[in-house]
Structure 1
Amino acid sequence: MPDFFAPCPRGLEKLLTDELTSFGATKLTPTDGGVGFFGDWAVCYRANLQSRLASRILWQVQPALLYRSEQDIYQMAMDLPWPRWFDVSDTIRVNVTAIKCPLKSLEFITLKIKDAICDKFRSAKGARPSVDTLEPDMRIHAFLEGEKVTLYLDTSGDALFKRGVRLHTNIAPIRENLAAGILMMTGWKPGIPLIDPMCGSGTFLIEAAQMSLNIQPGIARRFAFEKLKNFDAKLWAEMREHALAAQLPVSELPIYGSDLYGDALRAAHANLDEAGLRETVDLKQCNALEASPPTDEPGVLVANLPYGERMGELDEMAELYPKLGDALKQKFAGWNAYLFTADLRIAKLMRLSPSRRTPLFNGAIECRLFEYKMRAGSNRP
């Protein structure tokens, strides 16, 4: 049975473990920034199609082995049956990441792995695959930890957070899989009112709408596993047909977004249009401090707070936080608010007492998701 690894934004490993289990994965091994698992190819296809949290699904083609030099790594790659897995006509790209690697140059390691794959093809087929660093057919990933190296073939192609939907972004976008993970952490479920008063290009809104309508995140895109020689086209077609049949009709949903800036709202409108979800979400332009609950029923407020680059200097943010705290306290009693930010000063400046602080990473940026259960009156301890 194949061995896989699914990287994800740090902080989402537990959620991803639960998600992969629901797809039929076994022997799950959470680690910092991802989850290892076993499964057949149906599990691999399903994870690519349905995972809202994984960044990629990597097929481990070589387990962790000891190396001492670049030549050792070359020989390990040379020993693998690459022509059995994909065609010489497929373009390739090699990615190398390392932790505490004793070798000097990751670029040289990358070159040696690429040379090994090309030499293997030349030996077996009399020709070598071409390199395409922008849109390769096959991505090969090498992970070096200390003196061990593991090799993977990427079954996803483009990263899974690229849903084939969002074409227009603002200055500080949040990745789709991180947005989906945050929505899951809030306890929000389809049917519960949701508002994002700083919606930017609409990532939270689109993820919530797709969840509400049971639209699988990978339904609108292609995957690298479709080019593997063992690709089961019949199984994949049946899986996609089942996913399409399970989608709910597009309709108005209790999902609401607003933003102070017109260009951000134009981007959100365009992205919802591209996703075929425009009528599901209510959008309007207003200052987050003036936003009001869109329904009588309490719900969930979620926001990716601006930090520095979107709204200027730190002193401006220090002025915003207490005002935002007052606005939430005065208008959103009964709601649960979740504020995502890299600016950790918010804990003091909001003048509200968070009931939970969850460490998360937006790429390499360490952030926090602050939970505020809004009650009538004071939220201070």
Structure 2
Amino acid sequence: MADNRRSAPFYMTATTQFGLEEVLAEELHQLGATIENVGQRAIEFSGDTQLLYEACLWCRTAMRILKPFAGFYARDEKALYREVGRIDWAQYIRQDQTFAITAVVNKSTFEHSLFVAQLTKDAIVDQFRNRTGERPSVDVKNPDIRLHLHMIENEVILSLDASGESLHKRGYRQQTNVAPLNEALAAGLLLLSGWDGKKTLIDPMCGSGTLLTEAAMIAQRVAPGLYHQGKFGFENWPDFDAALWESVQLDARQMRIEEPQAYIAGSDLSREFIELARQNVAAADLEDFIRLGVRDVKEAKAPAKEEPGIVIMNPPYGERIGEEAEMDALYKAIGDTLKSGFQGYDAFIFTGNLEAAKRIGLKTSRRIPLYNGPIDCRLLKYELYQGTRKISKPE
């Protein structure tokens, strides 16, 4: 029985952040998924149960993996309540389990996603009550079963959330009092840069070390899902295959490479940030693969004995009033450092301050639009040639 279920392919959706869609599609393709559609912040794909488990474990740029199980048209409240009530909910939720619904509503006659979620919840709870006299409870914070309702122009798709806690929350971060990059975005920047996990990688403004930690995970083939806190959503599903999940995790652990694959180093002016970075790197069990030091970005330079690779950083954007002059000076210093200290490297600057970025004083060879939370950002690429490029005349 288990083997048939294991091998029959079904549809899934992986969600991500704006600008990372192609990167995530490639990650899924590498895992063996059939890509059906690359949409806005979402990839539709198909595969079997093993692929579902592997996607949750291995996708660096995914936020959630969803498994759609029902779709219908609901022109009004009555229709929504009726259609939800037609689904046999005992197949998806046990009455001793807790559940929560996230609703996303676009271009529909329903105005509020909260109202749609509430109505869906009522229909589910009423079905249980009518059949058994008992009902599952709602737990918004930490439910056993997470349901996603997506409504676009009154077409409804209901999905089970395989992830549990959002996949970008890896669990190695010790404190979140600084405003770092989220882990999926950091991994996305590295994958967008085309870094191969072998070349030298330097982050001279590393903050609490998220880019470095994600880089070491890529280089050493560490599955990000191994850090996931608590259960994955699919572990609470009625059809959960514990033996298959055990073997998928075992395979992932054996994929890890113990020999350092790349020279990865970071520095920051703030001693506190470097201390925080050390704690995060230690929590991720990657101390052997990352070098950290306290240093002003003005003093940063390429390591002497290593082949040139990439230099990548996420400098402050200066969101507070009156920081313009400070930001201009900082970005000019970044430009000077790149020109003098990193010849032969490719540089990637991720920033939400495009005015200040002009002070870098180098020509970009790529500008990739992304968001950091609500902030419109760019990943800027600069090719730092060795000396000046002279065109040699034929002898």
1:60 paired residue among 68, 93, 97? 68
The residue type equivalent to 1:67 in the other structure is A
The residue type equivalent to 1:180 in the other structure is A
2:12 paired residue among 4, 28, 36? 4
**Alignment partners' CA distance in 1, 2:251 and 2:386:** 46
Normalised by the length of structure 1, the TM-score is 0.94
The residue type equivalent to 1:174 in the other structure is L
Identity of aligned pairs, percent? 39
Task: Look up the match of 1:235.
Answer: 244
Q: Map 1:125-204 onto structure 2 (within 5 A).
A: 125-169=132-176, 171-204=178-211
CA shift digits 1:309-351 (9 cap, x unpaired): 4897233112221221111101110011000011121452221
Distance 1:59 1:252, change over 3 A: closer
Distance 1:243 1:99, change over 3 A: same
Give yes or no for contact 2:331–2:357 (8 Å, CA) kept in 1.
no
**Alignment partners' CA distance in 2, 1:311 and 1:323:** 21
Task: Look up the match of 1:28.
Answer: 36
Give yes or no for contact 2:97–2:144 (8 Å, CA) kept in 1.
yes
1:121 Cα offset (Å):
2.3
**Alignment partners' CA distance in 2, 1:194 and 1:249:** 18
Unaligned runs of 5+ in 2: 1-8, 390-395
**Alignment partners' CA distance in 1, 2:329 and 2:149:** 46
The residue type equivalent to 2:168 in the other structure is F
* Larger displacement relative to structure 2 (86-95 or 156-165): 86-95
The residue type equivalent to 1:220 in the other structure is Y
Give yes or no for contact 1:171–1:309 (8 Å, CA) kept in 2.
no
The residue type equivalent to 1:29 in the other structure is N
1:189 Cα offset (Å):
1.7
Task: Look up the match of 2:90.
Answer: 83
Task: Look up the match of 1:104.
Answer: 111
**Alignment partners' CA distance in 2, 1:90 and 1:261:** 46
1:279 Cα offset (Å):
2.6
Q: Secondary structure at the match of 1:206?
A: helix
Give yes or no for contact 1:55–1:161 (8 Å, CA) kept in 2.
yes
**Alignment partners' CA distance in 2, 1:36 and 1:237:** 26
Distance 1:197 1:284, change over 3 A: same
Task: Look up the match of 2:335.
Answer: 325
Give yes or no for contact 1:169–1:201 (8 Å, CA) kept in 2.
no
* Larger displacement relative to structure 2 (250-259 or 68-77): 250-259
Task: Look up the match of 2:235.
Answer: 226
CA shift digits 1:79-118 (9 cap, x unpaired): 2222112322221111112222332332211111111221
Distance 1:251 1:98, change over 3 A: same
CA shift digits 1:215-254 (9 cap, x unpaired): 1111233311011010111111111111112212265851
**Alignment partners' CA distance in 2, 1:116 and 1:188:** 49
Give yes or no for contact 1:190–1:211 (8 Å, CA) kept in 2.
yes
The residue type equivalent to 1:55 in the other structure is M
**Alignment partners' CA distance in 2, 1:212 and 1:310:** 36
Distance 1:347 1:200, change over 3 A: closer
Distance 1:311 1:327, change over 3 A: farther
The residue type equivalent to 1:137 in the other structure is D
Distance 1:148 1:240, change over 3 A: same
Q: Secondary structure at the match of 2:13?
A: strand
Unaligned runs of 5+ in 1: none
CA shift digits 1:112-156 (9 cap, x unpaired): 111122122223443111111111111111112222222111011
The residue type equivalent to 1:290 in the other structure is E
1:120 paired residue among 115, 119, 127? 127
Task: Look up the match of 1:342.
Answer: 352
Distance 1:365 1:120, change over 3 A: farther
Q: Secondary structure at the match of 1:219?
A: helix
CA shift digits 1:255-299 (9 cap, x unpaired): 101111122112111111111112321101111121111243101
Distance 1:310 1:171, change over 3 A: farther
**Alignment partners' CA distance in 2, 1:78 and 1:159:** 28
CA shift digits 1:184-207 (9 cap, x unpaired): 111212221111111111111111
**Alignment partners' CA distance in 1, 2:155 and 2:344:** 52
Q: Secondary structure at the match of 1:104?
A: coil
Normalised by the length of structure 2, the TM-score is 0.90
